[in-house]
Every structure is written in structure tokens, then in C-alpha cells.
Structure 1
Amino acid sequence: MSSTEVAVRHVVTFRGPTYRERIRLPLVQPLPENTLDPRYVTCESHRTACDCREAELAENIHEYRTERDHILRVLQEELAGHSTWAYTSRNDMEPSAACKCTGCRIVHRLGHYSIGGSVIVAEFDSGPTS
């Protein structure tokens, strides 16, 4: 009788001594995803990359990414329609024409160019400079 189940290989990949080299370490079971994993409670030999530390790290990374995505989504929703970024027709920044609200100033400090709207400002030639 043959089995139709496919064995899933769990592998952790590390960067090797050279940039292109990868070190692959096979695992018996997948790393814990959060502190609800039963291995988190039963971990007794705390060492580098043990199950409890991996569980806590994975949980923290997930929480940080969720918070970051929420903050970016709120900024995008609140600044929809704002001229957060202003450019000239030569694609130079024109800060004096950009929105000056608190939200747009926060985005400027964060440097997220994908948040808020942009506007092309007409250039005025002030004539020759002497």
C-alpha cells in the first residue's frame, strides 16, 4: 500500500562565509511561530536559537510587522488627496508647494514616498541672474 502523503522538509538557510554561499540546515520539525507553541513552555536547555527564543523572536517580528502595516495604512488613508510631495516639471522637489499639515510633515520625516499624493508645480522663469 502506498502513501499519498508528501513529506515536507523543514530547512533553515543561513548565509555562508561568501555572499553567494548558503548553508542549509535540515530540521526535524518547523520552527515555532509564536509562544503558543508547546515547545515554548517545555524548553529547558536555553541556548542560542533554542525553541523558546525562536518562538519569541517570531512572535515579536510578526507583531512589529503588523503594527508597521497598520501605521502605514492609516497614514495612506488619512493623507489621500494631500499634495504631500510637490515637484517641478523637471522632477525637482518643490517644498514650498507641498502640503504643510502635521501628517504630511511626519511622512516627510519618515521618507515614505509612496504615502500621500504628489503634484507637479508650474515653473516660473525669473529671468537671467547676474
Structure 2
Amino acid sequence: MTRGRTVHGYVQFRDGSRIPYPVPPNTFDPRYIACTQHRVACDCREAELAEDRADLNAELKSLREVFRRVLGDHPNGCMCTGCQVFRESRLHFLIDDTLPGPMEKTNV
């Protein structure tokens, strides 16, 4: 059997040919339990990675909502504890350019 690697929903072979293969979205997928090879990019590892990414994205979304709700209307230069924590944590990647006050992207 020719070995291949998983690339964005495809298995790509050394000769450049590709076949569609959607990776398992999480560990509830039956392919996760059925995986016995445990090689690079096998179904169980892909399922764990997809689940970890989904968990991280959910946590980032939650942080973004908290910062917007709590600090979104604070003025620039505000020195309250929340604004100081936000500036020192370097979490500016969580927000976009449309927010006023300390939620604006700055060079920290």
C-alpha cells in the first residue's frame, strides 16, 4: 500500500495524487475508536487534534466575550485593574479594531 498524508480533508500521496478523506471531527467519531495503527496523522490523532482545536476556539470565544462585556466601554488610558490586566496579558489578538477604549489594538 502506498503511504500518504492527510492534507485539509484529503489524503495526498507521494505521486501528488489526492483522494477526499474528511478527518474525524472529534473523539465521538467511530474512526477514533477503530484506529489501531497510531501513526502520524492517523484517525485517532486527527480526532484529538480537532477536538483540542475546537476546545481552544471555544475558550478564546469566551474570553473575547468577557473582555468586550467588561472592558468594552472603558476609555483609553483607563488604569482600572481589568484594563491593566488586559494590557499586560497581551491578549489583543482576541479583539478586533472596532472596539473603543482599552479594547483597541495597541502596540504593547
Q: Give the alignment's Cα RMSD to 1 decimal.
A: 2.3
Distance 1:25 1:100, change over 3 A: farther
1:95-119 deviation line (CA, Å, top 9, x unaligned) = xxx111111012111331746515x
> Secondary structure at the residue paired with 2:10?
strand
| Partners of 1:33 and 1:57 in 2: CA distance | 9
Q: Which runs of 4+ in 1 moved over 6 A?
A: none
Q: How many residues align?
A: 86
Whether 2:101 is the aligned partner of 1:117: answer yes
| Structure 1 spans left out of the alignment, 5+ residues | 1-9, 14-23, 86-97, 119-130
Shift of 1:59: 0.3
> Secondary structure at the residue paired with 1:99?
coil
More helix by share: 2
| Partners of 1:101 and 1:28 in 2: CA distance | 52
Distance 1:64 1:41, change over 3 A: same
Whether 2:92 is the aligned partner of 1:105: answer no
Whether 2:63 is the aligned partner of 1:71: answer yes
- Most deviating of 55-64 and 74-83: 74-83
Hey, what does 2:6 align to over in structure 1? none
| Partners of 2:24 and 2:17 in 1: CA distance | 16
Q: Larger radius of gyration, structure 1 or 2?
A: 1
